[in-house]
Amino acid sequence: MSILAKSPQAAGVSAPVLPRNPGIPLDLRDVAKIRVNRSAVERRAATLGTRRTVKKDWQAAWLVQAVRLIDLTSLAGDDTPANVKRLCAKARQPVRGDLLESMGLAERRITTGAVCVYHNLVATAVEALRGSGIPVAAVSTGFPAAQTPMDLKLEEIRRSVIAGAEEIDIVISRGPVLGEDWRALYDEVKAFREACGAAHMKAILAVGELGNLRHVAQASHVAMQAGADFIKTSTGKESVNATLANGLVMVRAIREYREQTGHQVGFKPAGGIRAAKQALEWMILMKEELGNDWLQPNLFRLGASALLTDIERQISHFVTGEYAAAHHLPMV
């Protein structure tokens, strides 16, 4: 059996384009009824890395698929056009060609799922990725704190779309969640969705600042009801970012929303995901809770930067039996 056949979904095969999530009217009674059993969630999250594992050829295949799920991200204060061009070159060829050839994947088109940058570097990324089919995602709406006026948030979204961003990662205001003002949160996210136009919208919940798991579940439902195409854990700038417990609550909200409406919503954990082992744990979570449909980049992304280096090191070890030094896995 080939490496490709052992992937959870065929690596290099384009995922189908899904209908947008149109949203539904806000159901305050449904949101008020939401409860989360914290102990059960934490027990389930703790077993994800121990009850299920993938080894040898299977692990290599899953890691190749994980590459395709990465939103390769650079959100640093010292980002420059040169840095972003290098990032885009890595997105085009995220794994060394000789490693792919050794696994029989030389003819497969392996790229990252997207490149994610600040608004001022969207045009640079769009130009660097021209012809690749890799979308550019822009963080928006006063990222990461969301403490800017609403009109500026909406204008930032519109400008990113005009600049060529096909995906917009908006960040919600935490105040309405902490105050349980679900109408305010719904109206905010719906306005962001309208400003995105044809661009897909990922709603960042900043779970580490929402107080408790019940709020995470409620905010997930409200964001989806308002039309979010993806829900995302974190900006990566909070003290607590993507955890399996928060992720479990969010993906179960996605499952409930699909059962209620028939609409599929994507999921993106982000922040602190640096090791290949973590990527596999997130993929196992998606497979077990939502199924193979959510192991494709149209419904699942991993927001990360350092993660790709560790995945490539693990792939190198699979092929050669040795871990490559960092200088053998350059950005370009």
**Catalytic residue set:** 169, 232, 268
> Are 88 and 128 spatial neighbours (Cβ–Cβ below 8 Å)?
yes
CA angle 42, 47, 51 (to 5 degrees): 160
- Distance from the Cα of residue 152 to its chain's centroid: 25
Helices (H), 267-306: 276-289
The phi, psi pair for 201, rounded to 5°, reads -115, 125
Q: Residue type for 178, please?
A: L
Q: How far apart are CA 189 and CA 176, in angstroms?
A: 11
Using alpha carbons, list the distances in angstroms from residue 114 to 89, 98, 107, 212, 308. Answer: 12, 23, 20, 30, 13
> Are 231 and 250 spatial neighbours (Cβ–Cβ below 8 Å)?
yes
Tokens of residue 139, six digits: 């963080």
Q: Residue type for 182, please?
A: W
Using alpha carbons, list the distances in angstroms from residue 28 to 47, 108, 221. Answer: 33, 47, 10
CA angle 168, 304, 233 (to 5 degrees): 60
